[in-house]
Structure 1
Amino acid sequence: MSGPSLAAWLRAQDETRLAALLRARPDLATPSPGDTSVLATRAGIRASIARACEDLDSFTLTVLEALLLAGADLGPRPLTEVSALLGKGVPVRAAKAAVELLRSRALAWGPDAALCVPPAATEAVTLFPAGLGRPDPQLDEVDLPALLDRLDEGERKLLETLASGQPTGRTKDAGVVVPLERARNPVQKLLARGLLLRRDAETVELPRQVGLALRGDRAFRAVEVTEPRLDTGGYPLSTVDSTAAGAAMELGRQVEALIGFWSEEPPPVLRSGGLGVRELRRLAKEIEVEERRAGLLAELVVGAGLVGDSEGNEPEWVPTTLADTWLVGTPEHRWATLAQTWLDLPRLPGLYGRRDEKDRPLGVLSEELRRPVAPRERRRVLDLLADLPPGATVKDVRQLAAVLAWRAPRRGGRLRDDLVEWTVGEGTALGVIALDALAGPGRTLLTEGPIAAAKAMAEALPAPVDHVLVQADLTVVAPGPLEADLAADIALVADVESAGGATVYRVTEATARRALDAGRSAADLHELFRSRSRTPVPQSLTYLIDDVARRHGRLRGGAAGSFLRCDDPVLVAEVLASAAAERLDLRRIAPTVLVSPMSLAEVLDGLRAAGFAPAAEGPDGQVLDLRPAGRRITARTRHNRRPMLPGGPSEDQLLAVIAQMKAGDAAAATPRGATISPTDSATTLALLRAAAEAGRSVWLGFVDNHGVASQRVVNPVSVAGGMLEGFDQAHGALRRFPVHRITSVAVVEDV
């Protein structure tokens, strides 16, 4: 039985089906095909077929393999034969639905009684459909069950191994086929019996008939008609969102600590790019996180443009000016920036620590972690979670990998399962996922973008509090996120000791002196704790502040190079007698004044290291804050970091492509009018005018300004001044054609 060609079948399809095909396989429309024959040729190319199969689910791919197994790549085959190969447990309606999906992608065509697939599908999908080898005509009349029963244990085991896996194997015994009586091992015996086929000097293949016999005449060992079910649980959505909000707050605190650390001590950029292992460990220790999480944070801040390569003679990873904008943002907007960066990040931070093909470890921020498909695969995992009801959790992450493997088994490669685990882990760290469920702000991020997601996170975050709880052990407990001004004041006078739902700060002599160095007075600090603490301020904290303040600023410094002044000559003498005086090159110019050629910052740091408590002062005598603000580099213009997801052509573009193909088909058809020679210009003009008056289409041969010849169908509107003006069906627009460039013309007769 012979069936229609793919081109003929495509010509018979309406615009809706053709548009659906081009939407599913956008590569077929680029560049725009001149006619349906070109479209059919492209649809049958191995590379295009392989791309079209990437989004097919496991069952549809199985049906395609069954079509190949039935020989639909060689000639039409009925659906009943395909259903028989799939097995009795597969519903016919499921097979029909899969075939219809294959038709919609031009991977199969024809009626159910005569289905065809492109010949190149064998190479694009699999050389061995259902894991079966090629048939051997010599075995068609052989009683295989009886022959298999006579095999010894070694021969039987070898055949079963090939039948359960790849039907080919490599062996040195494939070199020469010897008679059965001279055979010394299972391979030689099976070759002699004809139950194995020799493909080359080192390769043998199990014939299809033998494989089917060993499987009990079942072509497919197992056919998964539907995707695996997820074992789900659930939490109230409010619980999931509050957990996500806690993760978002912790993320913001850690990124803020990273920016502060790298502002003061930017790590070097490796010669090969990336961040060194030692620097990553320093960062992890400094901000008190695990090494792998530190790597994720580093990837995020660089991806968001908050940190960049200084690109100097000795390049370093330095915070950019965008970091300052991020630092003053609200918690929800800071989170949304980082979450969107992660969603679109064309890199796989989870690869850190693995080794490349040369057994070299892959480093954080290195080029080896770049994977352009990462955003697409990340979204696949999140979309699967988004399909679940709000608050629904997945009890086993491996089930997510199993579902995604069924939905698109040809995607993900060897990292497919790892990608699922990494996405869930990283999403949890960012507060996009919580308790193995997609959080509300994360769901909003996927569907509506970062601005709406920031609003959703603002609702999930606990309301800022305007008070703290001061404890007798000099700790200050923040029972929730602090208001911005209070958070800044507490961060100046105390260091974070532990973070979480409630943040614990600790006040020490060093932190109290830091606040005094920044210009705060002892009265300011007393008022801060008196007005903002819901618990009584312990005497130990009051004594600590007063003691530090009493010693602070007694010694004053200014720029001379630098100078020191003190109302107490005894203290001036004590400074001069210290070892630091010689290092700082201090000398007395008055009983209460010392000067140094070194900068004021160096002098103050040196004296503090020696146990003194000097303060810097300005021309008005007020205390100055000389703490370095941290290094910054100019933020570079960031290109659009949206993932390279296939958007496909618009509906209007699809219709234009289809119109061009239809016009190309009409132009390629043998015209029924007489072709006019270009030298017969008068007759050409007369024919064009007559077509314009009668509203008839003409078939033109035309050469453009670049000397490119083409054929097209045109509806003439007017002919004047040596110019044809008409509607070009291929481009869907009114165009002008110089008559002297028309090489041939004929009237397109109605069929």
Structure 2
Amino acid sequence: MSSLADWLRARSDEQLVALLRARPDLATPPPADTSVLATRVGVRSSVARACEDLDSFTLATLEALVLLDADDAPVPLDAVTELLGRDVTVERARRSVAQLRDLALTWGEDSELAVAPAAREALPTFPAGLGRAADHLTGAAAKAALAELDKEERRLVDKLAGGAPIGRTKDAAKQVPLEQATNPVQRLLAKGLLLRRDAETVELPRQLALAVRGDRPMGAVEPDEPVPDLTGTDQSTVDKTAGGEALELLRHVEGLLNTWGEEPPDVLRSGGVGVRDLRRTAKAIDVDENRLGLLVELATAANLLASSDGAAPQWVPTIESDTWLAAPPEQRWATLAQAWLDLPRLPGLIGARDEKDRLLNPLSEDLRRPLAPKDRRRILDYLDELPGGYGARPDDVAAVLGWRAPRRGGRLRDDLVRWTLAEATTLGIVALHAMTTAGRVLLADGSAEAARQLALALPEPLDHVLVQADLTVVAPGRLEPELAIEMKLVADVESAGSATVYRISDGSIRRALDTGYTADDLHALFRTRSRTPVPQSLTYLIDDVARRHGLLRAGTAAAFLRCDDPLLLAEILAKPETEELELRRIAPTVLVSPLPLADVVAELRAAGFAPVAEGPDGNVLDLRESGRRVRGKSRPAQPAAIAAPSEEQLGELVAHLRAGDRAGAARRGSTVRPERGRPSAEATLQLLRDAAQQRRSVWLGFVDTHGVRSQRVVRPVSVGGGILQGFDPSSEELGNFPLHRIMSVALVED
């Protein structure tokens, strides 16, 4: 049988490109020839990485090859099919082997299939739950011994044959004769039907497990993907439901920003937000703590929240949050949806405990998972495969994805599916278990086009409200932006949902008057915007509050001057040099200024006065500037994502491999070899010129711009200016080779 390197050389260029595309780690750095590629194909870490994308049945096929010791000697496809069980046809096994062959995890014809030794290391210790084979036991002897077991012995053997083949027991400490055995473990050990691994561990021989399993040697093997029970709904219904969820999400995020803008929580020493702050915020915006954790993660990922600087940092809204609040709903949703899709964290872990039994809080570093965006897209991509309006429940999705990639996700694999679908539903990317139109566009085209699709699903904004006699105002749907702003100003939200109920009170009317509204403005607002008659009680309330509003005036001042001598203050006011201070007398002995205290003191001293600054307690204040301080701690730079090689780059890499193979196979004649690291420049030039004149090919040891050493066969055309120009004999493509990168040269023998 041919070696892996020979088999790879026999593959077509298209097949090698497909291999490098499926296993990109093989191409970095570019291999010099096929022998180097074959070595990388068999590296344990690369094999394990390739197994991550294998489906359940293909992985079982690889396990069958390892169980048949295909890493030692080739095995036929028929033997693999037989080991996979009676439910598997030869054609189905052949398709699975073809997938493994495309990934170079197996090679050879169907009559001689081989795998790399690293495959055994990359698979579980007990493939298909089968232990080691016992040297003293044959298949026929195992079946005969199985028929003679008593009830207790058979129960123990069945248990070990159905799961892991090892068990822990104190009865393995010593071997006792069969006639002295007092329990099933001792009897099976004495009969040689259990293998003793150590003083507390026994192992079921593979032959006995195969005898128990019968015509399903590898247990329950699923040749085909599970078929879930799909849910069917009209796509427009899905989109409208998602639109309502999106509006609810935006309302809660807005409430979060307003709440933390007024009373920001402290940043915990370990990062994140404290439990007390979460409970206070959840009560303020009327959401449960699990939803609040997701809101906090979303707002921070979208750069709407950030930690402040200083000795006591807090979580506060950012400048970008003001722009976000002013944007249309669909654009605000798109910002949050894209942030969630790219979020390298797992909000679903919030509330769980780590290995040290510490609570995992929102925004803590323990939630960081770099592979979360990839897993999130993989889950949504499955729903995206389904027809419009059709969806699947989380457990069914978990079953399908578990079959497609059983080695992905680890112990949280099924939880990741449930968390992702729940979060996607909260965001309006998924509704009624199905992908929304906006969600599909988000996956394919990004947030800009997705925002336009969501806008089509949102209900038309209303230009009216319903004022009730009990001083409540009902908004039966989404309000126009201008009307929504006015209602939040003149009333407080009492309950929210598909219809929002506002409550008008003395405080809310006063709040509107404080912003510049007059009583006439408020009367006009309710008269023109309400579809119901304005109750007399509301008219009286507005007039009563407006009549008392503004009788007492309050202002601001950044600095004041006080002096027991009114004449001195009058002199200061009369001085032209103090006009820029904008001083104003509010009492015979008090002047105020809107400028900072330090500026006022400096200007007065420049004008010839001798003021003294005082603090809030009346004591003298030192206004000298202190030295600037900065924190020495810096945030580590995020590593840039490595772009996957393009088809053109992969084609060039395969061409490079072929050139390396030809160079390795070429017979060499006259040679210029390096004496101390590199060949003589004079000898190299002479050999290359002779080759160009005689139209002979040369073998080059060449180092490219990435520092990768390779071998090339070239037919020189010209040598000059530090460049060798030559043709590749197979492709007849002209290339340039800098002379300073040539490490060795030899003529190719005819």
Q: TM-score, normalised by structure 2?
A: 0.85
Q: Which amino acid aligns with 1:449?
A: G
Verify the 8 A CA contact 2:659 2:711 in the aligned structure 1: no
Cα offset for 1:541? 0.9
Distance 1:190 1:561, change over 3 A: closer
2:376/2:420 contact within 8 Å kept: yes
Partners of 2:474 and 2:101 lie apart in 1 by 66
Q: 1:176 Cα deviation (Å)? A: 3.1
1:669 is matched with 665
Q: Distance in 2 between matches of 1:689 and 1:561?
A: 86
The aligned residue for residue 718 of structure 1 is 718
Distance 2:505 2:707 in 1: 84
Give CA-to-partner distance per residue, 1:603-657, whole Å, 9 cap, x none: xxxxxxxxxxxxxxxxxxxxxxxxxxxxxxxxxx99999996x863111111121
- Deviation track 1:123-167 (CA, whole Å, cap 9, x = no partner) reads 101232221112223112763333223323332222111111111
Pairing partner for 2:442 from 437, 440, 445: 445
Distance (whole Å) between structure 2 residues aligned to residue 516 and residue 729 of structure 1: 88
Structure 1 residues 36 and 218, CA gap change in structure 2 (3 angstroms): same
Query: How far apart in 2 are the matches of 1:680 and 1:478?
Result: 88
Tell me whether 146-155 or 489-498 shows the greater mean CA deviation: 146-155
Shift of 1:62: 1.1
Alignment of 1:597-612 (within 5 A): none
**1:653-711 C-alpha deviation (Å, 9 max, x unpaired):** 11121122112222222525343567898876555335435654311245899999764
- The residue number in structure 2 matching 1:490 is 487
Aligned residues: 682
Q: Identity of paired residues, percent?
A: 60
Counterpart residue identity of residue 656, structure 1: E
1:420 correspondence with 2:421 = no
Task: Decide whether aligned partners of structure 1 residues 706 and 648 sit closer, same or farther in structure 2, where only a CA change above 3 A counts.
Answer: closer
Does the 8 Å contact 2:460/2:478 carry over to 1? yes
Give the conservation status (yes or no) of the 8 Å contact 1:346–1:643.
no
Which residue of 2 is the match for residue 586 of structure 1? none
* Equivalences for residues 395-406 of structure 1 within 5 A: 396-406=393-403
- 1:543 Cα shift? 0.9
Per the alignment, do residues 641 and 740 of structure 1 end up closer, same or farther by CA in structure 2, a change over 3 Å counting?
Answer: closer
1:651 equivalent among 647, 651, 669: 647
Q: Is the 8 A contact 1:108 1:117 kept in 2?
A: yes
Q: Please tell me the residue identity of whatever aligns with 2:352.
A: R
1:207-356 to 2 correspondences below 5 Å: 207-356=205-354
Q: Deviations over 1:183-242 (max 9, x none)?
A: 333222212211112233333221111111111253122221111111112111111111
Moved more, 226-235 or 712-721: 712-721
Change (3 A) 1:655 1:493: same
Contact 1:344 1:642 in 2 (8 A): no
SS for the counterpart of 1:557 is coil
- Aligned match for 1:22, one of 20, 23, 28: 20
Is residue 725–residue 734 contact of structure 2 (8 Å, CA) maintained in 1? no
2:464 match: 467
Deviation at 1:595, TM superposition (A): 9.7
For residue 44 of structure 1, report the CA deviation from its aligned partner. Answer: 0.7
Q: How does 1:560-709 map to 2 (within 5 A)?
A: 648-676=644-672, 685=685, 687-693=687-693, 696-701=696-701
Q: 1:52 to 1:721 in 2, by over 3 A?
A: closer
- Aligned partner of residue 648 in structure 1, secondary structure: coil
Distance in 1 between residues matched to 2:69 and 2:554, nearest whole Å: 92
SS at match of 1:139: coil
The equivalent residue for 1:746 is 747
Shift of 1:447: 1.0
Name the counterpart of 1:193: 191
**Native 8 Å contact 2:303 2:318 kept in 1:** yes
Write the deviation string for residues 521-568 of structure 1: whole angstroms up to 9, x where unpaired: 1111001111111111111111111111111112223346899xxxxx
Q: 2:4 aligns with which of 6, 22, 25?
A: 6
* Distance of aligned partners of 1:710 and 1:229 in 2 relative to their CA distance in 1, 3 Å threshold: closer
Query: Conserved in 2, the CA contact under 8 Å of 1:660 and 1:730?
Result: no
Distance in 2, Cα, partners of 1:172 & 1:21: 50
State whether residues 684 and 745 of structure 1, in contact with CA within 8 Å, keep that contact through their aligned partners in structure 2.
Answer: no
2-side partners of 1:110 and 1:86: how far apart?
19
- Residues in 2 aligned to 1:510 and 1:128: alpha-carbon distance in whole angstroms: 72
Query: Are positions 1:548 and 2:545 aligned together?
Result: yes
Amino acid paired to 1:422 = W
Deviations 1:464-521 (A, max 9, x none): 2211111111111222222221111111001111222222211111100000111111
- Aligned 8 A contact 2:32 2:708 in 1: no
The CA distance in 1 between the partners of 2:444 and 2:690, in whole Å, is 57
Partner of 2:614: none
Does residue 167 (structure 1) correspond to residue 165 (structure 2)? The answer is yes
| Amino acid in the other structure paired with 1:725 | Q
**1:500 to 1:730, Cα distance in 2 relative to 1, 3 A:** farther
Stretch deviating more after TM superposition (262-271 or 82-91) = 82-91
Distance 2:129 2:707 in 1: 52
Q: Residues 328 and 702 of structure 1: is their aligned pair in 2 closer, same or farther, counting only changes over 3 Å?
A: closer
For 1:541 and 1:405, the matched residues in 2 are separated by: 61
Given that 1:697 and 1:714 are in contact with CA atoms closer than 8 Å, whether structure 2 keeps it comes out as yes
Sort the Cα spacing of 1:487 and 1:708 in 2 relative to 1 into closer, same or farther, 3 A.
closer
Worse-superposed segment, 281-290 or 659-668: 659-668
The answer (yes or no) to whether the contact 1:661–1:730 under 8 Å persists in 2 is: no
Q: Which runs of 5+ in 2 are unaligned?
A: 561-585, 595-633
Q: For 1:514, which of 511, 514, 532 is the aligned residue?
A: 511
Query: Cα RMSD over matched residues?
Result: 3.1
206-215 or 104-113: bigger deviation: 206-215
Q: Quick check: 2:718–2:725 contact (8 Å CA) kept in 1?
A: yes
Structure 1: distance between partners of 2:261 and 2:709: 63
The one-letter code of the counterpart of 1:268 is: D
Residues 137-176 of structure 1: matches in 2 within 5 Å?
137-140=135-138, 143-176=141-174
Change (3 A) 1:255 1:145: same
